[in-house]
Amino acid sequence: MSKTLQSQQATIDPREFDSRHVQFVVDRFYKTAKHIPAERFDWKPQSEHVKSAHEMLRHIVEGNHILIHSLSERKPLSPSLLSEEERKHIQAETTNYEMALEALRTSGQKVAELVESIPIELLQQDEMARLVMASIVHMSYHWGQLCYLQTMWGDMENYR
């Protein structure tokens, strides 16, 4: 390992490191979703257990809002953190393709900012570290699903 890389690793704040990971996954999801043709946005295979790209975006935005509450209020992850009014707002802000993409970006950015603002002593606690990782894992999981949907309609491009 080069000395430059070693010195960079030694000086990076773990909050910044985690925040960058959140933003990286948000960017990957956004870039992939941005290339979905309008006629495919609500398409899904014939199964009750599969989400369309639109449903995935809405689900990620809702998950980000739950995580925002969890991180800012220092509470465990739970869908009950969202009020009915907030759920309706998320439905409204993800009504169409462009709105859903923007909601993904803004909610993902808010999560990244919150992660970077967590006091370091809290981030060293297992529960808080798991919350931060939950956002990365959740978005990564659904990004993989989105990529798979694209292959089902013949799009083999890797959007970076």
The structural domains of the chain, with segments of one domain joined by +, span: 15-31+50-152
Residue whose pair of structure tokens reads 């993904």 in the numeric block:
104
Summarize pLDDT for 88-133 with one digit per residue, the tens: 999 999 999 899 999 999 999 999 999 999 998 988 888 888 888 9
What percent of the chain stands above pLDDT 70?
Answer: 94
Name the pLDDT band for 3 (thresholds 50, 70, 90): low
Q: What is the pLDDT of residue 108?
A: 96
Neighbouring C-beta atoms of residue 53, cutoff 10 Å:
23
Tabulate helix, strand, coil % of the chain (nearest 5).
75, 0, 25
For CA atoms 58, 60, 66, 72, give the dihedral sign.
negative
pLDDT, residue 68, reads 94
* Res. 137: pLDDT tops 80: yes
The residue-averaged pLDDT of 81-85 equals: 94
Q: In the prediction, which pLDDT does 98 show? A: 92
Q: The tokens of 97 are what?
A: 């393709």
Q: Which two tokens stand for residue 152?
A: 């089902």
pTM: 0.86
pLDDT at residue 87, rounded to an integer: 95
**Residue scoring higher pLDDT (75 or 30):** 30
